[in-house]
A and B are shown apart, each in its own frame.
Chain A
Amino acid sequence: MAVNRNFRTCPSTGLVYHEPAEKLMKWNAVAGVVFLLLGGVLALLVTLTRWPAVHLLPADWFYLVLTAHGIDMLIFWIIFFEIAVLYFAASTLLKCRLATPRIAWAAFWMMIVGAVMNNVAVFKGDSSVMFTSYVPMGAHWAFYLGLIIFAVGALLACFVFLGTLAVGKAEKTYNGSIPLVTFGATTACIIAIFTIASGAIILIPTFLWSVGLVDHIDSLMYKTVWWAFGHSSQQINVSAHVSVWYAIAAIVFGAKPLSERVSRGAFLLYIFFLQLASAHHLLTDPGLTSNWKIFNTSYAMYLAVLASMVHGLTVPGAIEVAQREKGYTRGLFEWLRKAPWGNPIFSGMFISLIGFGFLGGISGVMMGTEQLNLLIHNTIYVPGHFHATVVIGTTLAFMSLTYFLIPTLFRRELMFPKMAAWQPYLFGLGMSVFALFMMGAGTLGVPRRHWDITFAGNALAHEFPGAAFLMMGLTGIAGVAAVVGGGMYIAIAVGSIFFGKRLDVPAARRVAVRDGMAPPPEPAPAIPTGHGTPAAWGLIAPGTFALAMVFLVSFVLYYFVNWKYLSTVWPLS
């Protein structure tokens, strides 16, 4: 029982790293960034092709590049980084050893093999089937097999995370409940397990179909199960990046959650209800009843929306309370004005939160409404929405976290600090403008995944309005700006990790299990009280509340504008 473990304590943050866990976090994070670089180059090619005045690539290359871009970004970049976050949330935050590092390495290498195999299949040119890979359109078998191997690797990593939670509990490395961030990461992990199971249910038969062992896959069945995997995989990101928001609020401001109960409850709502939201990809499909669609997208999904609205308040609310305690108490917004806007860890996280809420959240609800979906299904509005949620939400949150991890995990000084201060603004705002104009063009009917909206040479060409072309042009410009912002991130991250000034790395200390145990808990009041004192209107975070009301008003207006628009189209039943 007396296992010895190697730990080091980061001198600048006091965080404790288990030696094997540290290495795994580094490798997973770096692998993620490599795929981000690849996906970013592809992003530039996609955006330069959809910018009508440039129209860079020929059709076959465009669809190939778009397929690779989607998969490299949505799956490989994000999940590699998420695994690093999971190991951090378990091992480092609980100050415990990582369970079964060998299995964690096996998971890592399986994920690498799967990701490379999938990319090779796509770049060979016979698997341009998009991220969704809807049957009966088929890809090379290696495309599916790569995804399956990757998924099994990710599943193993999830079990290592859960095992690490068990280790922390058994070896008593902490007192009481797990930290909120670890709790959030646990919800991400549970959603991931469900997601990967759905992925297996659909990808394994599709793989067998691609090698000729299954002769028919029903397109509707495929699409239904595929989205249980495809949409839920994006919910892992939501849980993960919301956890990162809480972590950054704690790191930068020492912010405490307003109340643990509310924040944890909101994470639980994700587990219970987010999966059902997958149904919103099926709102214009035949063969599914309205009752099914309404239940899945609304009753249940709105509880998940509620959860996001709660996190959207509690994260800035916690920051506000922490700032007010430091004396920034004047007016509603002094706490926000005096926030460290030049610190990319904070600015990136805050832009991520605002962009995710206003652009991603509101447009997501609009798309998930049974009838409103008719207006934008499969238009470029859809990628507009998910670039707001996944890129501004998840990717930007992960980028901000990197700026924190470089000194503490990699023990290197941040290179190009000036550029780092600007990076979240260029990337976050570029991406916001990009998403916004995509949504605008989608409302005018511009289709997604479409090579040539001028239909050149076609006898029956459709002419999109001039405004649609203008918006696609602006999308292109903003997209290029965002890619430059992404390139800056890569330059800073890769530069710092490999060439940054080394900070002293404290030697890992061998700690016997018994010594590693948490000290007995301090006595605390039986019934917790106290949130800080109200600042205005009887609220402890009045500024955040005011921002939340601005959000609500935008939400309500936008929602009903869309119903108004819907009421003008052809009657349909």
Chain B
Amino acid sequence: MSAIEPPRNRLWWKQPLDRTEGLWILIAFVWCMVMFFMMPYWHIYGKQNLANEAYRTTPEAFQKKTDEMVAKHKVREETDLKIPVVHPPAGSDVYLIARLWQWWPMLELEAGKTYRLHLMSMDWLHGFSLQPENINIQVHPGYEHILTVTPTAPGKYSIVCNEYCGINHHTMVSRLYVVK
């Protein structure tokens, strides 16, 4: 009879649907379908989608490509650790290494230009969190994740690690410059 007793009617599944429930199920189902179609819709018409482009690679190979980029496009160094700042040409491949507990190197990009950003971790899982834009991406060891990004406004941005990666996790923060 009540929910803690067996249904009094043995053929409970033949009970007709009550209108309160029927109406709500219909409304809720339509809403669920709207939510479902929003994702493919955004793939076609929206501008913010994650790429499906990713490759397995090794820390050595990724480090080598990053070093090459740094050698070619370094414009200056920052902080006591002399972290290189690179200004690669628009449209080029840009590499960013995540490792305990640092982002390397620092990037300087141009507003309105598009870049292929390669992200990879050298060791544990890290989180690429671009602030204050608030774009958040998981960074894995061994997987080179490639995103096509177009910075919109010039300014000084921060990259915060937002995947717990050990005791000095909170020190893993870096800059990203966007210039005109």
Which of B12, B18, B175 has a CB less than 8 Å from the CB of A177? B12
Contact present for A462 and B18 (CB under 8 Å): no
Which of chain A's residues have a CB closer than 8 A to the CB of B13? 260-261
Q: Which of B37-45, B63-71, B86-94 contacts A (4 or more CB under 8 A)?
A: B37-45
Which of B4, B48, B131 has a CB less than 8 Å from the CB of A374? B48
Query: For the complex, is B151 an interface residue (Cβ under 8 Å from A)?
Result: yes
Query: For the complex, is B147 an interface residue (Cβ under 8 Å from A)?
Result: yes
Query: For the complex, is A415 an interface residue (Cβ under 8 Å from B)?
Result: no
Query: For the complex, is A254 an interface residue (Cβ under 8 Å from B)?
Result: yes
**A258 nearest CB across to chain B (Å):** 5
A128 to B164, CA, bound (A): 10
Contact present for B149 and A310 (CB under 8 Å): no
Which of chain A's residues have a CB closer than 8 A to the CB of B168? 59
Query: For the complex, is A504 an interface residue (Cβ under 8 Å from B)?
Result: no
**B147 nearest CB across to chain A (Å):** 6
Contact present for B149 and A462 (CB under 8 Å): no
Which of chain B's residues have a CB closer than 8 A to the CB of A93? 4-5
A540 to B24, CA, bound (A): 13
Which of B40, B125, B137, B163 has a CB less than 8 Å from the CB of A294? B40
Contact present for B173 and A559 (CB under 8 Å): no
Contact present for A459 and B46 (CB under 8 Å): no
- What 0/1 readout, one digit per residue, does chain A (205-239) give for beta carbons within 8 Å of chain B? 00000000000001110010000000000000000
A313 to B17, CA, bound (A): 14
A408 to B132, CA, bound (A): 54
User: Considering only CB atoms and an 8 Å cut-off, how many residues of chain B contact the other chain?
Assistant: 93
- What 0/1 readout, one digit per residue, does chain B (1-45) give for beta carbons within 8 Å of chain A? 111111111111111111111011101110111011011101100
**B100 nearest CB across to chain A (Å):** 10
* Given contact pairs A136-B141, A370-B39, A290 touches B18 in the complex (Cβ within 8 A): no
* Given contact pairs A179-B4, A445-B134, A371 touches B42 in the complex (Cβ within 8 A): yes
Which of chain A's residues have a CB closer than 8 A to the CB of B40? 294
Which of B21, B138, B160 has a CB less than 8 Å from the CB of A284? B138
A458 to B135, CA, bound (A): 22
A262 to B48, CA, bound (A): 38
- Which positions in B face A, CB cutoff 8 Å? 1-21, 23-25, 27-29, 31-33, 35-36, 38-40, 42-43, 46-52, 54, 56, 78-81, 119, 123-125, 127, 129-138, 140-145, 147-152, 158, 160-171, 173-175
- Which positions in A face B, CB cutoff 8 Å? 59-60, 63, 93, 128, 130, 134, 136-137, 174-181, 218-220, 223, 246-247, 249-251, 254-263, 282-287, 289-290, 294, 297-299, 302-303, 305-306, 309-310, 313-314, 317-318, 365, 369-371, 374-379, 443-445, 447-453, 455, 458-462, 464-465, 521-522, 524-529, 531, 534, 538-542, 544-545, 548, 552, 555-556, 559, 563, 566-567, 569-573
Closest 10 CB pairs of A and B: A462-B158, A286-B145, A286-B54, A447-B162, A302-B32, A250-B2, A377-B136, A571-B47, A449-B164, A528-B15
